[in-house]
Homo-oligomer: A and B are copies of this chain.
Amino acid sequence: MRSIKVGLIGFGTVGSGVVKIIRQNGDVIKERLGTDLELKKIVDLDITTPRPVKVEKSILSTNIDDIMEDPEIDIVIELIGGIEPAKTFILKSLEKGKHVVTANKALLAHHGNEIFEAAAKNGVDVGFEASVGGGIPLIRSIREGLVAEDIQVIYGILNGTANYILTRMTTDGASFSEALKEAQEKGYAEADPTLDIEGHDTAHKLAIMCALSFGGKIEFDKVHIEGITDIDQKDIQFASEFGYKIKLLAIGAETNGKIDMRVHPTMIPKDHVLSSVDGAYNAVFINGNAVGNIMLYGLGAGMMPTGSAVISDIVDMGRDILHGVNNRVPPLSFVDSSKNSVTYKPISEIKTRYYFRFEALDRPGVLSKISGILGKYNISISAVIQKGRQVAGSVPIVMLTHTAVEKNVRSALEEIDKLDVVKAPSKLIRIENGEAE
């Protein structure tokens, strides 16, 4: 039987993982695929720095044409990340009739629709299991496992760096900056951690998952994004007093035909199964109208888990190649995603429960003033903690609300922040119970 020949662009962390797994688990992969997976060429700008895995010099090249112009290469693996030249390389591979496997969530979030169109036009496939949730078989599970579902809601912990930081803040009382520094020392966080801690990486993944779950194109611009840089140790502790943990959640939900996509720090009940997802682990919790609640959990990053997901796509394509088929499964789960009419709900329209922290002067009548404004905007309070008198300065007043409308909440906080007894901008954290509405 013919072998499946692949070319790898990008010999970095994940690229090394892919090579290592092919070497290490080649026998068992062959027993499952039925033929050899042959790594024919690796292209990278740097082919001299030692990698965690050794390869013969003959398969290394700095010339992209060694992959593009080789008609024997069936599948191109793009693992350089970023928008360019990754996008150009992928589009060129597709034009050349080569299947593409990528872990590039930023690229897919911004240009996925164009890439999938090009793939369809050229009768080839694009695999992206590795782009969300590392080694967790997430894309495949939503697209094929939950194919019979009307998906109601997705909650995702999709960034290991952010989750590691929040876990350290929760379990060890670390400050945000201490936890970030530690994450960087341990290699979980990049030198520039912006994409992770500001929520953009999570948002890239959410946009992809929502297209898969609800239909429609990938619409990254519709995702509301807030990161975790404002989370204070105080908030972690108050959340805990109320029975909650704070997680950076990706939330995608469909209510009355409208989809809302948002990434923000979220309080979830301590006894919810997502609360047990700690450290660098990722998880996605999905509610479908038939299957009920499902959770998929695992390492969302790292050379070996992400490499494993890359190879799962290669084997899938290999099977298609051996059977002479292509475009068997629609990449975004729906046969014609572009036809699917989807409307999005702006953040101002969402309804949820809220945690507020006000920093107010410790004077009689302050609570009455604040709650008066909340009442005016139809926001009803379910719990209050007012901490004891400080020697000087302000005291925190912490409240949980019943379900309220976001735009009312924003108007109320704006008004509250203008009170002369309020000494710092008020803090808001949204609460989710982790169930479909």
A328 partner residues in chain B, CB cutoff 8 A: 319-320, 323, 325
Q: Shortest distance in angstroms between A79's beta carbon and chain B's nearest beta carbon?
A: 15
Check B335–A32 contact: CB distance below 8 A: yes
Specify the chain B residue showing the minimal Cβ separation from A277. B273
A150 in the interface, Cβ–Cβ < 8 Å?
Answer: yes
Check A297–B296 contact: CB distance below 8 A: yes
Specify the chain B residue showing the minimal Cβ separation from A322. B328
Supposing A137-B141, A312-B145, A335-B34 touch, asked if A294 and B292 sit within 8 A by C-beta, the answer is no
Q: Shortest distance in angstroms between A340's beta carbon and chain B's nearest beta carbon?
A: 7
Supposing A25-B148, A328-B319, A335-B33 touch, asked if A292 and B305 sit within 8 A by C-beta, the answer is yes
Check A298–B294 contact: CB distance below 8 A: yes
Supposing A129-B145, A145-B141, A147-B32 touch, asked if A305 and B291 sit within 8 A by C-beta, the answer is yes
Supposing A32-B330, A311-B148, A328-B319 touch, asked if A136 and B335 sit within 8 A by C-beta, the answer is no
Distance A290 CA – B135 CA, assembled complex (angstroms): 9
Supposing A290-B17, A292-B299, A296-B297 touch, asked if A315 and B25 sit within 8 A by C-beta, the answer is no
A12 in the interface, Cβ–Cβ < 8 Å?
Answer: no
Which of the residues B149, B290, B312, B329 comes within 8 Å of A319, measured between beta carbons?
B329
Give A271-315 interface residues, CB cut-off 8 Å to B: 273, 276-277, 288-299, 302, 304-305, 307-309, 311-312, 315
Which of the residues B17, B288, B330 comes within 8 Å of A308, measured between beta carbons?
B288
Specify the chain B residue showing the minimal Cβ separation from A276. B276
Specify the chain B residue showing the minimal Cβ separation from A17. B290
A117 in the interface, Cβ–Cβ < 8 Å?
Answer: no
Check B136–A312 contact: CB distance below 8 A: no
A330 partner residues in chain B, CB cutoff 8 A: 32, 34
Supposing A291-B135, A297-B294, A328-B319 touch, asked if A147 and B33 sit within 8 A by C-beta, the answer is yes
A5 in the interface, Cβ–Cβ < 8 Å?
Answer: no
Check A299–B290 contact: CB distance below 8 A: no
Supposing A149-B25, A290-B305 touch, asked if A297 and B273 sit within 8 A by C-beta, the answer is yes
Q: Shortest distance in angstroms between A413's beta carbon and chain B's nearest beta carbon?
A: 35
Check B215–A31 contact: CB distance below 8 A: yes
Supposing A140-B140, A319-B328 touch, asked if A292 and B273 sit within 8 A by C-beta, the answer is no
A307 partner residues in chain B, CB cutoff 8 A: 148, 290
Check B148–A315 contact: CB distance below 8 A: yes
Specify the chain B residue showing the minimal Cβ separation from A30. B335
Distance A320 CA – B329 CA, assembled complex (angstroms): 10
Q: Shortest distance in angstroms between A284's beta carbon and chain B's nearest beta carbon?
A: 10
**What are some 11 contacts across the A-B interface (CB < 8 A)?**
A21-B148, A32-B335, A137-B294, A145-B309, A146-B312, A290-B307, A292-B304, A292-B305, A294-B297, A319-B329, A324-B325
- Which 9 A-B pairs give the minimum distances between C-beta atoms? A137-B145, A148-B311, A135-B291, A294-B298, A295-B297, A34-B335, A290-B308, A290-B304, A137-B141
